[in-house]
Structures are given as structure tokens and as C-alpha cells.
Amino acid sequence: MSKISSPRLAAPVSRRTVLGAFGLGLGSVALSACGGPGASSSESSSTSGGGVTGRVSFYHWRTEDRQAIEDLGAAFAKKYPGVQLEQTIDPSEQYEATAAQKAGTGSVGDALTAFRGPQFTQFAELGTFADLSSVGYKSNYVPEFIAHGASQGKQLGFPYQLLFNMPLLNTDIAEKAGLSEQPTDWDAYLSALDRLKAQGVYAIAWPGNDFQVLNSLAMNAPDDEAFAAIEQGKAKVTDDWFLDLLRKWKQMSAYFQPNFAGTKLDGALALYTQGKAAMLPTGSFHIVQVRAAGAKFGIEFAPVITTPKGQAPRNQGIYNVTFILGVNSKAKNPEGAKAWVEFLSQPENAVRYADATYQHVTVKDVQYTNADLKALSPWSERKLLLAPRFQFASVGVRSAVENTLLTVATGTPVEQAAEEAQKLVDEARPK
């Protein structure tokens, strides 16, 4: 049984442990932290050599990475004098909706990123990414991870971030509540929520428009590919197993903060970082914001465990790979874009990105110095499932399934919510 404890300096994720723990793959991002509009650049005023010069536009969605990329861009400009790296950042939802169209003009995104799942599929179908199959630095990555950046035998991009899509737990509150071990069944999980709530805090601060929690809620469904089966019409949200998940979710909703349906991510983050809520049900990608807000408490993962008493969970947690780095096939500066992706793919630069952004990376042989990255690395040795929420290739199907969480939590009867969602799934399912 895994312990709940404050962060300690643990061994970093090694290639051996990553390959052993994460060779579990499923189908096809994590809806990562929202970004914000804007652009910034790093440049050298020197004359370039080696054919890599000029403005390199890097298009992505992570505002919280702006400074880290700015610093790496400055180092890139030193390596290639005369290069100017310019960031263009859109909010994540906007990026998902419009990035392919914007990049298709070639006016933005010489190098760009994609969410794993529907957006990467869209980029592959539209030919947005150039083929990087033959680049030498491909060997810098863990092979299992970059499989999610390949399509039809071509390596179109390199998933850069290794994420853990599991609720964050304030271990200081957990210790006060007498919780020293991770729950291993549903009854124990509810008991843990009761004990957290008894500390005078909200057990869970849920932003009602964020559905990352669905990953661990469903990670012990009867089939690891249950969501893919829903999209394929082989399973339905009206099936007993999904109705059971919704009933458990309804029980969990009693532990949310008031007006959770109207709470945005920033509001839930504030409750968590201020110690007013014990859990934030999103993932590792929000730890950087928690620390930036000044939180000093220990952080551990607390995935939702739905298995009945006496039955060991098949999966203990969730991981994902995303932020797929690639070169725009319409790039105005393709040589600069290729050099930038190669630069980020070097272990010494990947670890700088990781430590600055609180993100584990998919590049091999990195040695983290960030305390949270080190402390949470032992999760790589557990039985983890590739985030099932992103098995959906259709955004419409995914949204229909996700929204059952909000409708049930706000009072719609479970069976009614499922029936209404199934109608939407049938309409949105690819024909």
C-alpha cells in the first residue's frame, strides 16, 4: 500500500523505471493548464552562421511556460547567433480550436505544438506537421512515448511533457487528518474524504468546467479501453458500469466547495493553494501555479479509487504525454524551426525546461533538481494507465461524456443524465 507523505528528494525518473512502468499504452491530451494570448522573443544581435538564422516563431498554449521558453530561447540564440525566437501563445481552448487554421497560413508557428488526441489527429490529417522520422535526436526520447507523435509510420512530432493526470493532495492536511496511506477501495476513499472535511476545509475544490478527474474516476472501469468502446458504439454511457461511476461521482460531489459549477480553475486553485481545500482534482501540470502562489505544503497524488472492498485496483493512477513538438510544414523558417525542436530535445535543455516548469519530460537521461519532480517520481513505478479520457478522437463525443459529471453533480438524476448524453454521443460519433 502506498504511503501519503510530504515531498522528499526521491530518485529521478530513470529510463529503466519509465520503460518498465509506462509500457502500458492505450489509444490516443490532457486538457492542460490554460494559456493566454501574447508574444515574446529572445534574440542575438550577432551575425548567424550554419544556415540557422532569422525569426523563429514558436506557437503553443502554455502561458505558464513563457519565462522558461524565453530563457531557453536566449540560450538558443547564443548557439545560433542572429536567431530570434518569438513565442505566440493562445489560451488552450482557443489553441485547440484554431491552431491548425492559423498555422496553415505559415504566418505563425514555424515550430508548434499539439495536444495528444483529436488535435494531433487533425494535424496529421491536414499535413500540419512536417515529417521528422529521420532526425538523429529521435533517439533522445523514450520510444514508448514518442509513439504518440507518430501517424501512418511517420514521426510527425515529439510528445515533450510526461504528465500525471491525478488529483493533487495537500499532505499537511492529510497528515492532520491521520491519513498515512493511499485508499485502496471506494469505502476507504469516502472515509478519507470525510476525514479531510473534518479538518474544517473543503475536501475537494472542483472547477466545474474541468474534467481531468474523469481519468482516474474511470481508470478501473471493466475495460481499459472503455471510452474508445463508447465512441465506437460498442459500449454506452447508459451501461451499468458507467452509471455506477456517475453514482459514485454524485457521492463525491457532497465534498465539493459551494457553487462548484460556477468555479473557474483560478478559483479552485486559490482554495487549494490557500489551504482551504485538501484536494485539487486536476494534475501535475498545475503544481507550478500552486508553488508560484507561495504554497509550501507537501503535495502528493490522490487518484479516485472506485473498486469495491476486497478487490485490488487494476490501475493505481494515470499518466499522459502531450505538448507534441513539431515543425510546421508551411514554416517560413523551416531550418530555424528544426534547430529549435532539436535544441529542446537535448537532455541538458529538456531538464532546464522540466525544472523551471515543474513538468516531467519524455527525454531520456535527465536528472531533475526540482524537489516536486523528484518527490513524485516514484509514481513511475506504479501500475498506471494512459489517460483514458483522451481515447476519444471526437471532441463532440468526449464533451458529451464529460458533461455528465456536471449535470449529475448539479442534480440531474444519473439515469436521465446518461440517457441525454448517449443521444449526444450517437449524434457526434464519427460515421
* CA distances from residue 398 to 50, 211, 318, 365, 389 in whole angstroms, order as listed: 46, 10, 18, 35, 7
Which ranges constitute the DSSP H helices of 383-431?
395-409, 414-428
* Contact (Cβ atoms closer than 8 angstroms) between residue 165 and residue 320: yes
Mean pLDDT of 141-152: 93
* CA distances from residue 323 to 162, 183, 205, 341, 349 in whole angstroms, order as listed: 9, 31, 26, 12, 16
Residue pLDDT, tens place only, 34-74: 333 344 445 443 333 457 999 999 999 999 899 999 999 99
- 193: cell is 474524504
The alpha carbon of residue 170 and the mean position of all alpha carbons in its chain are separated, in whole angstroms, by 20
Q: What is the pLDDT of residue 120?
A: 94
* CA distances from residue 277 to 17, 86, 138 in whole angstroms, order as listed: 32, 38, 42
Mean pLDDT of 299-323: 96
Rounded distance, CA 296 to CA 290, Å? 9
* CA distances from residue 420 to 231, 235, 264, 412 in whole angstroms, order as listed: 15, 15, 25, 10
Residue pLDDT, tens place only, 201-248: 999 999 999 999 999 999 999 999 999 999 999 999 999 999 999 999
* CA distances from residue 185 to 1, 228, 302, 306, 364 in whole angstroms, order as listed: 11, 25, 12, 6, 34
Domains of the chain: 26-164+320-378 (3.40.190.10)
Share of the chain above pLDDT 70, in %: 88
Which ranges constitute the DSSP H helices of 47-205?
66-79, 92-104, 118-126, 143-146, 171-176, 186-197
**DSSP reduced 3-state for 360:** strand
* CA distances from residue 85 to 98, 344, 369 in whole angstroms, order as listed: 22, 13, 26
Mean pLDDT of 302-307: 97
Mean pLDDT of 113-131: 94
Put the strands of the sheet holding 299-301 in their side by side order: 202-204, 277-280, 168-170, 299-301
CA 280, 283, 289, 293 torsion-angle sign: positive
Beta bridge partners of 322: 161
Rounded distance, CA 298 to CA 317, Å? 19
* CA distances from residue 297 to 5, 39, 49, 169, 170 in whole angstroms, order as listed: 11, 33, 48, 10, 6
Element (H or E) spanning 347, and its range? helix 347-357
Give the closest residue to 103 by CA, choosing from 114, 93, 112, 94. 112
Rounded distance, CA 204 to CA 256, Å? 5
Neighbours of 337 (CB within 10 A): 24
Residue pLDDT, tens place only, 370-405: 999 999 988 987 999 999 998 888 889 999 999 999
pTM of the shown model: 0.78
